[in-house]
Amino acid sequence: MPSATNHPLNIAIIGAGLGGLAAAVALRREHHNVTVYERYDFAGEVGASLSAAPNGSKFLERWGVDIQAAKPVILRKLIMHDWATGETQNEYPLGDYRAKFGTEYNNFHRIDIHTQLLKSAFETPGEGPPCTLQVNHKAIAINASAGSITFENGHHATADIIVAADGIRSLTRQQLGITPNYTLSTSCCYRCIISAEKLRALGLDDYIDNEAIEYWGGFGINKIVMSPCSNGDVVSCYCFYPSEYNNLREDGWSIAASPEQLLDTFPDLDPRMRKLFAEAEDIKMWRLYRHDPYPYWTKGPVCLLGDAAHPMMPDQSQGSCMAFEDAGALGLVFHRGFRDEYTVEAGLELYEKLRKPRATRVQEASFRAREDLNERIGWSSKTDRPGKLTVEEVCGYDMEGHLRELLAGVV
Ligand SMILES: Cc1cc2nc3c(=O)[nH]c(=O)nc-3n(C[C@H](O)[C@H](O)[C@H](O)COP(=O)(O)OP(=O)(O)OC[C@H]3O[C@@H](n4cnc5c(N)ncnc54)[C@H](O)[C@@H]3O)c2cc1C
């Protein structure tokens, strides 16, 4: 394989979230010149866990992201608790994911994996030229025919490809002529974290040592999802509740809440979990939305990626994994010798063909899983319901094989 591409592309990425950074890493490694534009002066992440199933972790490994430095906890089982008593009702061992699917089921603190992706994109060691980061660059207009971006600060940029990774409230999407059809979910979500030290003082050591995703509820709106991250130093909880409960109107990732609000929302929950809630830190609330799939993802040299392309309910823990897959797909399609095979435009069409059906299927299954835990991958490998997403389909996905079939015109 040549050491550099036969004509590197200039690629602009809008948004330095997990999706935008993953795309930067994947494209840098193919020796393209990548600039990432982020609207804020610091592209950060929130304090909560992020589980990366093998279909997402596979790309992190392939890109040489320092997974160990992101302090993962390897998830080994799923545990279902009785809502009111906390008694264990079901335990599903996950088995050896590396043997089955090639990589671990990693659970990260979101900030830790974001930091490692930043390093992989912008630091000098690594395959391909380091990407450039432009902060305080909020994209306000895109001209798809000219391949240009206008920023709020008055700057302009042009690129061979513009990757819009600007999240669920993407402005770029609208600029491409897509009007999202979305509804407010029945559910909102609190997230909170608590240190292992505090949990040990509370006598809740098993929550750290279980190496599990643990659930309370999940059949109906109410659901608590708990898992350890940061080498087991932190435990993170997502707590879903009916949106009419507090009629949350604000949008964003950092609407603060108190332990009292958490406790008031779940009065009849397992007393051990309530003990945790009373001491929980960094509690935030989220509104959730259901977006219908968009009609297309690309226009001219512009493509959508991550939540900008396929925002989904968090109930399959697959939003970032799908963004990592999108990024992986861009790296495969725009591999360093692609110009011998097709044009940039044809490559973007291929990207959409490769990604949209699969991401849409996961998006729809995430919606079904919002109020029905039986729809979540991992609870069963059987196709016990027509159309149900299985863990094999998600974690055992062979993107290279899929791409080869598309290129051969088989699919
Ligand atoms: C409760 C919850 C739990 C989740 N748990 C998991 C999980 O366990 N596993 C998993 O795989 N996924 C999970 N997800 C999904 C995951 O968080 C998202 O899919 C993922 O963060 C999307 O990344 P993104 O880069 O596409 O978007 P974002 O993270 O939203 O990043 C967008 C970036 O673009 C920037 N930006 C926005 N507009 C502009 C503009 N105009 N100009 C320049 N920059 C701009 C923003 O500032 C931001 O940095 C969860 C989601 C939720 C809500």
- Contact between 303 and 161 (Cβ < 8 Å): yes
- Contact between 377 and 391 (Cβ < 8 Å): yes
69 pLDDT exceeds 70? yes
Position 381 confidence tier, pLDDT thresholds 50, 70, 90? low
The 10s digit of each residue's pLDDT in 80-136 is 999 999 999 999 999 999 999 999 999 999 999 999 999 999 999 999 999 999 999
The 10s digit of each residue's pLDDT in 221-276 is 999 999 999 999 999 999 999 999 887 777 777 789 999 999 999 999 999 999 99
Closest residue by CA, ligand 1 atom 37: 166
CA of 141 to the centre of ligand 1 (A): 20
Position 312 confidence tier, pLDDT thresholds 50, 70, 90? very high
CA of 218 to the centre of ligand 1 (A): 23
CA of 295 to the centre of ligand 1 (A): 21
CA of 233 to the centre of ligand 1 (A): 24
**pLDDT confidence of residue 341:** 92
**Domains of the chain and any CATH numbers:** 10-45+111-181+292-407 (3.50.50.60)
**Closest by alpha carbon to 17, among 286, 219, 311, 217?**
311
Paired tokens of 287: 């509104």
Residues with CB under 6 A from ligand 1: 14-20, 37-40, 43, 50-51, 56, 138-139, 165-167, 171, 189, 191, 238, 286, 306-308, 314, 317-321, 323
Place of tokens 């512009």: 302
CA of 16 to the centre of ligand 1 (A): 9
**Ligand 1, residues 13, 18, 170: which to mutate, most atoms within 8 A of Cβ?**
18
> In degrees, to the nearest 5, what angle opens at C-alpha 193 toward C-alphas 190 and 197?
155
**pLDDT confidence of residue 255:** 87
382 pLDDT exceeds 90? no
CA of 224 to the centre of ligand 1 (A): 21
**Closest by alpha carbon to 169, among 85, 258, 253?**
253
The 10s digit of each residue's pLDDT in 342-380 is 999 999 999 999 999 999 999 999 999 999 999 998 776
Q: Which atom of ligand 1 is closest in space to residue 170's alpha carbon?
A: 38
